[in-house]
Chains A and B, each alone.
Chain A
Amino acid sequence: MAEDTAAKLYQAFVSEDPSSAISVIEKVKASGVAQADLFDQLFAPAMSMLGGAWASGAIDEYAFTQAAVVAEQIASFVTPPSTAQDTGVTVLVGAMHKDYHAISKNVIGAALKEAGHRVIDLGVDVRPAEFLERLEETGSRIVIVTAEPVGAAHAAVRVREALAAAGHENVVILVAGGPFAADSALAKEVGANGVIHGAESALRLVDRVAQDILEEGSE
């Protein structure tokens, strides 16, 4: 990024002119700089100039503060987006029938949502029929079933049965919870396609499944 562009942004700051600042940013974007790079390539050098001007006394304390206000006003134009882009992947998340533990479900659901997935949270104590009903409503092809009590974990097989009976054999079921972590064979027993060991593992697995579904669709 040419230094003069950063200087123009700096000038807009000290002139207390947010519209000029925005037009500088827009011009830089139009020249092909990605949104994710604007902060480092444009905003940071302009801020450094601002700091230098204050340090040398070229601008006084008041002007420094006012310039910082303009920087604040336009920060959203140069900051990488804090939320991920919509992936278009819908994921159903729910705790199995007779399981009232919500923490794993909440944490996994929130992480997936933050990563840009469309998460439908079915809550706790979810019956297999509810998983099926919401799956048909949303067209989702990924279901995450959490279960902390052993009985609820074994009952997850009923979700697979309900989906298969309605002709949704290809839906991917991922399971999470203590019993699945403790017994690696249990997931297979209940017809799950994979075991989630926490939020990071959920992100990885859902990404992989979504990729597989996409590839399947393009074939």
Chain B
Amino acid sequence: MADRSQQLALAEGLARQGHVQPAVEACYQALRIDEGETLTHCLLADLMLSGDFYDEAITSASRAIEIDPTCSPAYLALGLAYDRRGGGWDQSILVWHELAEVEPELVTAHVQLGEAFSSAAFDEEAIDAWRRALELDPTEARAMYNLAVAALKREGMSTALPGFRKAGELDPSQDDLFFVLAGVEDDGNPAPSPTDVAEDRSSRLEAAGALAYEEDFFAAADLIRLVLDEDAEDAEALGLAAYLYLKQEAVNEAMACSMRALSISTRTPTAVYSLGVSFAKRSGLSKSAARVFAALAKAVPKHPMPHVLYAESLLGLQRYSQAAAAYKLALELDSACVRARFGLAAVLLTEGRHAEATWEIRRAAYHDTRRQGLFWELYDSYAEGRS
């Protein structure tokens, strides 16, 4: 921070707080003091991008790169600006390629590079880039979504669907739905140690949910066992047990627990969720999955994920127009829902609407990259490396 001007520091502070307009003004002030400051150009590019001023973002990011060709956050802003503006796939490929060179371990750079290749119809190169991303991070959901779309283009929906489901499992938003249904919120505190949990049902269930959130499935299962030992007909405990089994790939156990929970009380949303996910994992049960997810979407209409899950089960039934409607509903609830955008893109491809599909993928990519807060990560690391 020592070598940064006061104006730049002010601009940074404002930008981090989301005050775009004053941050832009502070950037211009900083540039009047020092036009050659890479960070200011780079920050201005990101601010312009967030305001949808793509040409201005391109100008600022390009200037930052001109001053310092190793400025990775500028490549990110430039690539995103080209992608959002559209129509410059050759430049987009070059920029993402450069970013992947400057930051070879940056997974998103490879994913974006693949998307740029795909938009320019270099399908083989695109697949290579997404595979590289998955080599770097096997849990990279977006690379998996893209590979599923590539499979759809070559071999149709039945080949692509398992890829969409796999990507969905990697995508943390599906687990988020479960925890919303279970009433588990991230309050920033660590889950309690099982030995410290009070010996009543409510404390045990709450702690089991928190432990499951932290992926300590065995400790969560121990607490669930204690709840069930007191009351074997506790539907909520069974719903949580089903989720714990699902997370350990034990689909039949999950199905058994969720079915039991629902035979006790049909109003157990966690069990409905686990049952639907169990069905979705079995080929031939798309109809059952659709029925379950339709019920879940009805029970939780304001959350986008049940609509997405419903849509995916409809894809398995070849009911593409209904799936599109469900995806659109999910996007009305959350326009940044990456999974819904990829799903909608898949449906559009089945309808021969290729340009619209590409547009949806581009939007999904933009939201996903922005959601990761990658700009600030690269910005801080670049600034640190420079000082």
Q: Name the distance in Å between B222's Cβ and chain A's nearest Cβ.
A: 11
How far apart sit A64 and B238, CA to CA, in the bound complex (Å)? 14
How far apart sit A154 and B67, CA to CA, in the bound complex (Å)? 53
Q: Name the distance in Å between B260's Cβ and chain A's nearest Cβ.
A: 3
Whether B253 lies near A81 (C-beta < 8 A) is no
A72 at the interface (CB under 8 A from B): yes
How far apart sit A114 and B350, CA to CA, in the bound complex (Å)? 14
Whether B351 lies near A114 (C-beta < 8 A) is no
Given known pairs A68-B252, A82-B283, A113-B156, the reply for A55 and B257 (CB within 8 Å) is yes
How far apart sit A52 and B285, CA to CA, in the bound complex (Å)? 23
Q: Name the distance in Å between A46's Cβ and chain B's nearest Cβ.
A: 9
Residues 138-174 of B at the A interface (beta carbon under 8 Å):
152-159
Q: Which of B153, B260, B351 contacts A106 (CB 8 A)?
A: B153
The interface stretch among A137-145, A159-167, A192-200 is: A192-200
B203 at the interface (CB under 8 A from A): no
Q: Which of A39, A69, A71 contacts B288 (CB 8 A)?
A: A39
A190 at the interface (CB under 8 A from B): no
Whether B352 lies near A176 (C-beta < 8 A) is yes
Chain A residues with CB under 8 A of B349: 103, 107
Chain B residues with CB under 8 A of A201: 351
Residues 144-189 of A at the B interface (beta carbon under 8 Å):
176-178, 181
Q: Which of A48, A57, A68, A197 contacts B260 (CB 8 A)?
A: A48
Residues 214-264 of B at the A interface (beta carbon under 8 Å):
228-229, 232-234, 237-238, 241, 250, 252-253, 255-263
Chain A residues with CB under 8 A of B351: 197-201
Chain A residues with CB under 8 A of B354: 103
Chain B residues with CB under 8 A of A40: 288
Whether B159 lies near A200 (C-beta < 8 A) is no
How far apart sit A104 and B250, CA to CA, in the bound complex (Å)? 38
How far apart sit A104 and B355, CA to CA, in the bound complex (Å)? 13
Residues 98-143 of A at the B interface (beta carbon under 8 Å):
102-104, 106-107, 109-111, 113-115
The proximity string for A residues 199-213 relative to B, scoring 1 for CB distances below 8 Å and 0 otherwise, is 111010000000000
B104 at the interface (CB under 8 A from A): no
Q: Which of B234, B250, B256 contacts A50 (CB 8 A)?
A: B256
Whether A55 lies near B238 (C-beta < 8 A) is yes
Q: Name the distance in Å between B218's Cβ and chain A's nearest Cβ.
A: 11
A22 at the interface (CB under 8 A from B): no
Given known pairs A68-B252, A114-B156, A198-B350, the reply for A54 and B283 (CB within 8 Å) is no
Interface of A is mostly: helix
A44 at the interface (CB under 8 A from B): yes
Q: Which of B156, B159, B259, B283 contacts A51 (CB 8 A)?
A: B259
Q: Name the distance in Å between A98's Cβ and chain B's nearest Cβ.
A: 17
B284 at the interface (CB under 8 A from A): yes
Q: Which residue of B lies closest to A76 (CB)?
A: B284
How far apart sit A103 and B351, CA to CA, in the bound complex (Å)? 11
Q: Which residue of B lies closest to A44 (CB)?
A: B259
Whether A57 lies near B232 (C-beta < 8 A) is yes
Whether A114 lies near B352 (C-beta < 8 A) is no
Chain B residues with CB under 8 A of A56: 228, 232
Q: Name the distance in Å between A54's Cβ and chain B's nearest Cβ.
A: 7
Given known pairs A80-B285, A199-B318, the reply for A47 and B157 (CB within 8 Å) is no
Given known pairs A104-B352, A111-B318, the reply for A55 and B233 (CB within 8 Å) is yes
Q: Name the distance in Å between A192's Cβ and chain B's nearest Cβ.
A: 15
Interface of B is mostly: helix
Q: Which residue of A lies closest to B221 (CB)?
A: A61
A79 at the interface (CB under 8 A from B): yes
Whether A65 lies near B250 (C-beta < 8 A) is yes
Q: Name the distance in Å between B315's Cβ and chain A's nearest Cβ.
A: 10
Chain B residues with CB under 8 A of A197: 351-352
B287 at the interface (CB under 8 A from A): yes
Q: Which residue of B lies closest to A181 (CB)?
A: B352
Whether A51 lies near B284 (C-beta < 8 A) is no
How far apart sit A49 and B263, CA to CA, in the bound complex (Å)? 10
Q: Which of B155, B232, B282 contacts A52 (CB 8 A)?
A: B232
Whether B153 lies near A111 (C-beta < 8 A) is no
A214 at the interface (CB under 8 A from B): no
Whether B159 lies near A110 (C-beta < 8 A) is yes
Q: Which of B237, B287, B321, B353 contacts A200 (CB 8 A)?
A: B321
Chain B residues with CB under 8 A of A71: 252, 256
Q: Name the distance in Å between B206's Cβ and chain A's nearest Cβ.
A: 19
How far apart sit A49 and B259, CA to CA, in the bound complex (Å)? 9
Whether B156 lies near A200 (C-beta < 8 A) is no
Whether B258 lies near A51 (C-beta < 8 A) is yes
B54 at the interface (CB under 8 A from A): no
Given known pairs A111-B350, A181-B352, the reply for A81 and B318 (CB within 8 Å) is no
Can you name 20 extra interface pairs (CB under 8 A) apart from A72-B252, A199-B350?
A47-B252, A50-B260, A52-B263, A55-B233, A55-B238, A57-B228, A64-B256, A68-B252, A71-B256, A79-B282, A81-B284, A82-B283, A82-B284, A103-B354, A110-B159, A115-B318, A181-B352, A198-B352, A199-B318, A201-B351
- Chain B contacts to A: CB under 8 angstroms: 152-159, 228-229, 232-234, 237-238, 241, 250, 252-253, 255-263, 282-285, 287-288, 318-321, 349-354
The 8 closest A-B pairs by CB, nearest first: A110-B156, A51-B260, A198-B351, A51-B256, A56-B232, A68-B252, A82-B283, A82-B284
